[in-house]
C-alpha cells in the first residue's frame, strides 16, 4: 500500500482515525478535468467534536518529553523523503504543478519538518530581573488547540509550515485545507503524521466549505488561527477572531515589485523576472506582479522578457514537459483573462501572451501600463508581467510603495544602490539580486499592510511567538510576609 492509497482516505476525513463522511468532494485534475478520487467533507458538527477531542489530546501531547515530540517530527521528514515521488505526482495532477515546482515544494516540506524537530528542545523562556527576593521567570507554554486554514497553490508546504511547528511546540491542530487540493494539502499531512506515530486526537483533517472554515475559527477550544489565503477572507477571519479574543496569524496577498536598477545585466534580469512572474503560473503570493525598470534598460528588458515568455510552453505537466501548467480552475482562467483584457482596453499593450491556452494561460508581458489599470493594482494570481519605467531612485521607491500590499520585493543591480532603496520601502521581505519568490524553513516569512500581520512563519523565534503563550512564574524560598 502506498502512503496516499485512496482506500485509506477515499470519502473520509481524519479525526481519531479515518472516518466516513456525510458528504464528499471530487478530487479533480485541473489540466484535464479528470476525477482522481473523492475526499470526505467534514461538517460544523464534526469540527465541534474534533475540537473537543483535540483539547483533550493536547494535554497529554504537551506533557510528552521533548525528545519524543522531536522524534515524531524527524520521522515525518523521513516519510516525506521516502514518499517524495508519490507526493510530487499528486501535486502535479491535483494542483497543476510542473514537476520542478512539485519537487521544490516537497523539499521545502521536508526541511520544515526537520527544522521544527529542533523546536521541542529550543529555549522556552527567560530569567527576568526582579526587585523582590525571588526568582522571576517568563516561560512559553503551548497555546492549546491551533486551527490551520491552508490554500491551494503550495498546498503541502503552506499547511505544514503551521502544522509542524504547532505540533512540535505541544499543540493540537485542526487542519482545513482548500477542498481543491485536499490530498496534497491535507491527506498527505495527516498520513505522514499518522505513520510517524503522532498520538491519536492531536491532529484532525477537516476538509469542508465556508461553514467548516467558520467552525474551526469559532470553536471555543481553539486559541490560535493560522490562515494563508486571500486578503478579503483574511480580513473576515481576523475580524471574527478579534471578537472572540483569539490570535490570528494572517499571511495574505501580494503584488510584489521587481526593481531593475540602471547598469543591471538586462538578460539576467529578464531571466529573474520571468521566473518570478511565471513560476507555478503566477499562483504564488510572492509572484512578481510589477516590473519596475530603469528607463535606460526598459526597452531591452521588455524585449528579453517577452522573448522568454513566448518560449515557455503551456500544457499538462503530468503528460508533457511544460514550463506552465493549468490554472487551478476555469474561473481563475477567466479572471486572469478579464484583468488582461480590461487593462488592454484601458490602453496597455500586449508584448507577449495575453490569451488562454487550454486550462492554462500563456505567459504574458504588458507594457504601457498605468497605475489605475487592474493589471497593475490587483493581485492577478496568473502569469502576467506588467512593466513600467522609472528615472530616479526616489521615483522607484514611490512606485514600489504605491500599493496596498507589502510582502516581497526584489532589487536587481548595484548592491549599494539596492541597499539604499531597501531602506526606503515597506516590505516584509527584500531580496537583492534575486527575484521575489523565495522561502526557507528557517527564515521568517510574512508581509505588512494588506499582505498580513507580519512574520509569523519560519524560524524558531517566529514559530515560538506564533504558537505559544507567555506565562510569568515567580518562586520564593519561603512564603512571603504580607500585611494582612
Q: Active site includes 285?
A: yes
Q: What is the CB neighbour count within 10 angstroms for residue 394? A: 11
Q: How far apart are CA 332 and CA 237, in angstroms?
A: 23
Identify which of 294, 292, 293, 286 has the alpha carbon closest to the alpha carbon of residue 255. 286
Is the Cα dihedral 366, 372, 376, 380 positive or negative? Answer: negative
Measured CA to CA in angstroms, residue 233 lies from 224, 229, 327, 412 at distances of: 16, 7, 20, 33
Give the up-direction half-sphere exposure of residue 12: CA atoms within 13 A in the CB hemisphere.
18
Q: Which of 105, 113, 218, 285 is catalytic?
A: 285
Identify which of 453, 374, 156 has the alpha carbon closest to the alpha carbon of residue 444. 453
Q: Please give the grid coordinates belonging to residue 131.
A: 526587585
Q: How far apart are CA 63 and CA 250, in angstroms?
A: 29
118-149 residues labelled b (16+ CB within 10 A) or e (exposed): ebbeeebbeeeeeeeeeeebeebebbbbbbbb
Q: How far apart are CA 223 and CA 247, in angstroms?
A: 7
Residue 454 burial (10 A CB sphere; 0-12, 13-18, 19+): middle
Q: What is the CB neighbour count within 10 angstroms for residue 449? A: 17
Q: Which of 24, 105, 251, 379 is catalytic?
A: 251
Q: Active site includes 116?
A: no
DSSP per-residue codes, 311-350: T--BS-TTTS--SB---SSHHHHHHHHHHHHHHHHTT-EE
| Residues designated as active site | 251, 285
Amino acid at each position: 500500500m502506498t502512503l496516499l492509497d485512496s482506500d485509506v482516505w477515499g470519502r473520509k476525513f481524519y479525526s481519531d482515525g479515518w472516518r466516513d463522511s456525510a458528504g464528499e468532494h471530487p478530487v479533480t485534475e485541473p489540466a484535464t478535468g479528470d476525477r482522481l478520487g473523492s475526499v470526505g467533507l467534514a461538517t460544523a458538527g464534526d469540527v465541534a467534536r474534533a475540537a473537543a477531542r483535540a483539547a483533550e489530546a493536547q494535554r497529554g501531547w504537551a506533557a510528552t518529553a521533548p525528545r519524543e515530540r522531536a522524534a515524531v517530527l524527524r520521522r515525518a521528514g523521513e516519510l516525506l523523503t521516502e514518499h517524495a515521488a508519490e507526493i510530487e505526482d499528486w501535486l502535479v495532477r491535483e494542483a497543476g504543478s510542473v514537476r520542478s515546482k512539485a519537487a521544490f515544494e516537497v523539499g521545502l516540506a521536508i526541511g520544515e519538518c526537520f527544522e521544527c524537530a529542533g523546536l521541542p528542545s529550543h529555549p522556552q523562556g527567560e530569567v527576568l530581573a526582579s526587585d523582590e527576593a525571588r526568582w522571576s521567570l517568563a516561560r512559553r507554554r503551548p497555546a492549546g488547540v491551533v486551527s490551520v486554514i491552508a490554500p491551494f497553490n503550495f498546498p503541502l508546504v503552506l499547511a505544514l509550515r503551521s502544522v509542524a511547528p504547532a505540533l512540535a511546540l505541544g499543540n493540537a491542530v485542526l487542519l482545513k485545507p482548500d477542498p481543491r487540493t485536499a490530498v496534497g494539502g491535507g491527506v498527505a499531512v495527516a498520513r505522514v503524521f499518522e505513520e510517524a506515530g503522532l498520538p491519536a486526537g492531536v491532529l484532525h483533517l477537516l476538509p469542508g466549505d465556508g461553514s467548516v472554515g467558520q467552525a474551526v475559527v469559532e470553536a471555543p477550544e481553539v486559541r490560535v488561527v493560522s490562515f494563508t489565503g486571500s486578503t478579503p477572507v483574511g480580513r473576515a477571519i481576523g475580524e471574527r477572531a478579534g471578537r472572540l479574543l483569539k490570535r490570528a496569524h494572517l499571511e495574505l496577498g501580494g503584488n510584489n515589485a521587481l526593481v531593475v536598477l540602471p547598469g543591471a545585466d538586462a538578460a539576467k534580469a529578464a531571466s529573474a523576472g520571468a521566473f518570478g512572474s511565471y513560476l507555478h503560473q503566477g499562483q504564488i503570493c510572492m509572484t512578481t506582479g510589477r516590473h519596475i525598470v530603469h528607463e535606460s534598460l526598459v526597452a531591452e528588458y521588455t524585449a528579453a522578457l517577452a522573448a522568454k515568455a513566448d518560449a515557455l510552453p503551456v500544457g499538462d505537466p503530468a503528460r508533457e514537459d511544460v514550463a506552465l501548467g493549468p490554472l487551478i480552475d476555469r474561473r481563475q482562467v477567466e479572471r486572469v483573462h478579464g484583468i488582461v483584457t480590461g487593462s488592454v482596453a484601458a490602453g496597455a499593450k500586449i508584448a507577449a501572451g495575453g490569451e488562454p491556452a487550454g486550462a492554462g494561460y500563456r505567459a504574458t508581458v504588458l507594457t504601457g501600463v498605468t497605475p489605475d489599470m487592474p493589471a497593475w493594482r490587483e493581485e492577478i494570481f496568473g502569469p502576467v508581467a506588467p512593466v513600467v519605467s522609472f528615472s530616479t531612485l526616489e521615483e522607484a521607491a514611490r512606485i514600489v510603495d504605491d500599493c496596498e500590499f507589502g510582502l516581497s520585493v526584489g532589487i536587481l543591480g548595484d548592491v549599494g544602490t539596492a541597499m539604499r532603496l531597501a531602506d526606503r520601502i515597506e516590505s516584509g521581505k527584500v531580496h537583492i539580486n534575486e527575484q521575489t519568490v523565495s522561502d526557507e524553513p528557517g527564515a521568517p516569512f510574512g508581509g505588512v499592510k494588506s499582505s498580513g500581520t507580519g512574520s509569523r512563519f519560519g524560524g524558531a523565534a517566529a514559530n515560538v511567538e506564533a504558537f505559544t503563550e507567555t506565562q510569568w512564574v515567580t518562586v520564593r524560598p519561603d512564603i512571603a510576609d504580607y500585611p494582612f
